[in-house]
Amino acid sequence: MPVALVISAPSGAGKTTLVKRLLALEPSVDFAVSVTTRPRRRMEADGRDYRFVTEDEFTGMIERDELLEWAGVFGNRYGTPKSALDSARRRGRDILLDIDVQGASSLIGRVPEAVTVFVLPPSRQVHESRLRSRSTEDEGSLRTRLGEAAAEIGWCMQFDHVVINEDLDEAVAVLQSILVAARARLSRMMPRILPILKEFGVSSRPDAEVLT
């Protein structure tokens, strides 16, 4: 079974940079492109970073049950198309889902086999500095994001793994190790394990002895 790796974080924790670095190291992993109603930022490409849609188009996707999850964030809506996960599964490919905290909390129930990772900034001071360095928000918007981050950070306790993004290279290495470990879980390895057990005459039951 392919891995569905869900990465979430409060705005400004460096999640997007980590995701891009991990995907560059793992070219066999698909990226689930989210849809959003927010305006496209400079340097973003439609269909690569997000699918940018109108409010009416987004509402239509909800009504047609085309989204695994969706949430409203800072006055805009974001969602993950079901088609991305379905396509990856059909082709037997791992998939990475970059999802905001609200969306991830609802997706966990719908995709229980997903491996979830929460990215934390190393401190509030660093978090604020990173938000300011983006130069994408005015002071009021920045304060709103900081307040929202304070509410979201507690959600890290609901995730399988937490990565503290203090050193970028180290954080990427930890993310990659989580992906590698997820691939080796027993439930995902069974298609490869069973033929080997059969050759040795061993049952797949945990308490089984060698068959004679």
- What is the per-residue pLDDT across 167-196, written as a single tens digit (0 to 9) for each? 999 999 999 999 999 999 988 898 899 999
What pLDDT, on the 0 to 100 scale, is given for residue 212? Answer: 39
What pLDDT, on the 0 to 100 scale, is given for residue 27? Answer: 93
Query: Does residue 140 have a pLDDT over 80?
Result: no
| Chain Cα centroid distance, residue 41 | 21
Q: What is the mean pLDDT of the chain?
A: 88
The interaxial angle of helices 139-152 and 124-134, nearest 10 deg, is 140
Each residue of 49-80: pLDDT tens digit? 899 999 999 999 999 999 999 988 878 999 99
Question: Residue 32 contacts by C-beta under 8 Å, 6 or more apart in sequence?
Answer: 80, 81, 84, 85, 88, 95, 96, 97, 98
Q: Rounded to an integer, what distance in angstroms lies between the CA atom of residue 182 and that of residue 37?
A: 32
For domain 4-199, the CATH class is alpha beta
- Residue 109's Cβ-count burial label (10 Å; 0-12, 13-18, 19+) is exposed
Q: Domain extents for the chain?
A: 4-199
pTM: 0.84
Q: Rounded to an integer, what distance in angstroms lies between the CA atom of residue 104 and that of residue 14?
A: 17
Each residue of 25-53: pLDDT tens digit? 999 999 999 999 999 988 899 999 899 99
Q: Rounded to an integer, what distance in angstroms lies between the CA atom of residue 55 and that of residue 161?
A: 33
4, 111 in Cβ contact below 8 A? yes
Q: What six digits make up the tokens of 123? A: 């401190």
